[in-house]
Structure 1
Amino acid sequence: MKDDIWSRDEIESPCVQLCMIHPETRLCSGCARSIDEITRWSKMTPEDRRSVMAELPNREKAPTKRRGGRAARLLR
């Protein structure tokens, strides 16, 4: 029996709930979406979302290694 009261359509999303935007690449280290794509996600058409999701495997994810902290900033 389908429960029409509690059923709802969820928006497709590549989010893996490891959200951290890299300050230089501006990409999420979890899903590789840009900050702009994340912001507009709920307003995108399903076709636009699928298009972005199709591109994600080819994107270079945000760097995960540490950048050196304060000592590295002082050298810049």
Structure 2
Amino acid sequence: MTQGAMVPSPCTQVCRLDRATGWCEGCGRKIEEIGGWMGASDAEKRAILTRLPERLRRLAQ
């Protein structure tokens, strides 16, 4: 098992970056967070996941 394999990706298969924020309109991650997801530790992934609901709420406004 690879590092961080227990935390599932939040990807929704809607891969469009918002020009104003740089966040994915589907999952709310930044391009760096998306690109680094596979190598991130479980703790890093959980930290990213905690930021996503607020980002997605802001994108929906």
Shared fold per TM-score greater than 0.5: yes
Per the normalisation by structure 2, the TM-score is 0.74
Task: Provide runs of 4+ in structure 1 moved above 6 Å.
Answer: none
Runs of at least 5 residues in structure 2 that lack an aligned partner in the other structure: none
Q: CA deviation at 1:24?
A: 2.6
Query: Are 1:48 and 2:44 an aligned pair?
Result: yes
Which residue of the other structure, out of 3, 19, 22, is the alignment partner of 2:18? 22
CA RMSD of aligned residues (A): 2.0
Q: CA deviation at 1:51?
A: 1.1
Sequence identity (%) = 35
Runs of at least 5 residues in structure 1 that lack an aligned partner in the other structure: 1-8, 64-76
